Amino acid sequence: MTHWLRDAAERSIRYIEGVNERPVYPAPDALAALHQFDEPLPDEPLPPESVIALLDDVGSPATVATVGGRYFGFVTGGALPATVAANWLAAAWDQNAGVNTMSPTTVYLEEIAMRWLLDALRLPAESGVGFVTGATTANFACLAAARHRLLARAGWDVEARGLFGAPEITVVVGEEVHVSVLQALMMVGFGRERLMRVPVDAQGRMIPAALPGLDERTIVCIQAGNVNTGAFDPAAEICAAAHAAGAWVHVDGAFGLWALASEQMAHLAASVPDADSWATDGHKWLNVPYDSGIAICRDAEAMRNAMTVTAPYLVQDAQRQPYHYTPEMSRRARGVEVWAAFKSLGKNGLAQLIEETSAHARRFGQELRAAGFTVHNEIVLNQVLVSFGDAETTDAVIAEIQREGVLWAGRSVWQGHTAMRISVSSWATTEEDVERSLEAILRAAEHVLHLG
Ligand SMILES: *Cc1c(COP(=O)(O)O)cnc(C)c1O
């Protein structure tokens, strides 16, 4: 009866075992073959093994090999073995992790994962935590909590009355704010343009001396890990100034927050734990499958007030109900994968993951600089921004690298410079992957420069 599950497992194993042998980006014929999925909604049923066979035969070759060791695009984690396996088992359980009575196992596991997370990231143990879909949703949940607290202090019940006629809130961001924070500000009703933007330095760090006057109706959004450079906003100065004024500090730490998990690297994020709320991702540097974001708020009550609704059939007791801390009600048990990541890595394995991927990034930077190319950022974390000449040349090199398929890295523009961005975020990347990738990059650059 379950042979189709075994078949699916075997196909998944073959996929994972072969992922380093194929082009990182799918070949054009594999993409063209996707049209085989394009048919009218079938009238008749099809057995599950045939569904899976089609999915694998047509779908697998057209995937991007982000679980392999040489995908460096955007900021993309792989998926640790224990987390993929936990994901399969949790899918078999199919629990609704939002409500305690519907899933005692996963709710309990998520509570453990939450405690370990706060420990690993040196964040306040009393914080409220929500397992959400990604850092965008985590930013949203945290900013909604900030909105609740600042307006409640002003005597305004924003959840009941909305923002119409509410006291005004000022939002301060850096010039290099991530677009997902803007999206969250848009969804929370503050508007994505009604902001005060603070100038930044060459690494994208906010200049604290340029902060505007802050007060008890201000939210300052800082970042731990700029998406291009990996740089950290100066949290110590900003948190001190904000808290002296009664303002709220929110941290977008989608990947950079994980520097706190390493003794060696925690200094980069020093004072980040002084903030009031933090958004991060599990699916980036922690290397759990999509979708996995985490919203953390020192003021757990503010988070609950911002996220909760009640109905007579929902249990109201002293026990923690996960849906009180997320925009979702029903959801999958994504915290189980977070638990599995922590359990399989341990504190030391987690620190090692963060340190080794950062060391790979430094190696990319050193060798590309030594080859005469311009690396725009100080490589403090896992991000490298490199130009191979002018914009046109850099674009041509990126195109050649992507065409060859040994690795995949994307394009960015950093303060006017077109660059290739290398983000080393996967547990699966080895020294050998870095070497093969460097050879491919230098080969592509030579090819383009020779042509020019
Ligand atoms: C990826 C990223 C986000 C958005 O995260 P999602 O998980 O894609 O929603 C926000 N901020 C930074 C700095 C990021 O790198």
The pLDDT value given to residue 226: 98
Half-sphere exposure of 171 (CA within 13 A, CB side): 23
Q: Which of 105, 96, 114 is CA-nearest to residue 333? A: 96
Find how far residue 156's CA is from the centre of its chain.
33
Cα-based distances in Å from 253 to 82, 178, 215, 298, 386 = 24, 10, 24, 15, 23
Cα-based distances in Å from 161 to 53, 99, 167, 303, 439 = 52, 27, 12, 17, 60
Which of 137, 142, 178, when mutated, tests ligand 1's pocket best, judged by the most ligand atoms within 8 Å of its CB?
Answer: 178
Residues of the chain with pLDDT under 50: none
Cα-based distances in Å from 327 to 17, 87, 130, 132, 303 = 37, 22, 9, 8, 10
- 423 CB within 6 A, ligand 1: no
Instruction: Determine the Cα–Cα distance for residues 365 and 230; give it in Å rounded to an integer.
Output: 13
- 292 CB within 6 A, ligand 1: no
The CA 419 to ligand 1 mean position distance, Å, reads 20
Instruction: Determine the Cα–Cα distance for residues 94 and 71; give it in Å rounded to an integer.
Output: 30
**Helix and strand tally (H, E) in the chain?**
13, 11
**Main-chain phi, psi angles of 224, to 5 degrees:** -110, 95
**Tokens 């801390």 correspond to what residue?**
325
Instruction: Determine the Cα–Cα distance for residues 335 and 58; give it in Å rounded to an integer.
Output: 31
- 75 CB within 6 A, ligand 1: yes
Q: How big is the chain, counted in residues?
A: 452
The pLDDT value given to residue 314: 63
Q: How many CB atoms lie within 10 A of CB 440?
A: 17
Q: Which of 252, 228, 248 is CA-nearest to residue 238? A: 248
- 269 CB within 6 A, ligand 1: no
Buried b (16+ CB within 10 A) or exposed e, 359-384: ebbebbbebbeeeebebbbebbbbbb
Cα-based distances in Å from 234 to 82, 186, 258, 272, 280 = 35, 25, 16, 9, 18
- 233 CB within 6 A, ligand 1: no
State pLDDT tens for residues 345-385: 999 999 999 999 999 999 999 999 999 999 999 999 999 99
Protein residue with its CA nearest to atom 1 in ligand 1: 254
Cα-based distances in Å from 57 to 50, 51, 292, 350 = 10, 10, 27, 35
- 254 CB within 6 A, ligand 1: yes
